[in-house]
Amino acid sequence: MNNDLLTFLFGVTLLILYLVFSALTEMGTKWPWTKNKRNTYRCE
């Protein structure tokens, strides 16, 4: 395989992993493995 193709595939893989991670952590605002008991976004 071509070196340019490997670089492209590596970049696309990193992008996909970043998007999945961002979706799981809600754009980095909370970690998926912690349980938040109260809703910090609710305004009363």
pTM for the complete prediction?
Answer: 0.56
Segments of the chain scoring below 70 in pLDDT: 1, 27-44
Distance of CA 35 to the CA centre of its chain: 18
* pLDDT given at position 35: 59
* pLDDT given at position 23: 80
Amino acid at 27: M
* pLDDT given at position 24: 76
Q: Are 40 and 32 in contact (CB under 8 A)?
A: no
* pLDDT given at position 7: 96
> Cβ–Cβ contacts within 10 Å for residue 24, how many?
13
* pLDDT given at position 20: 87
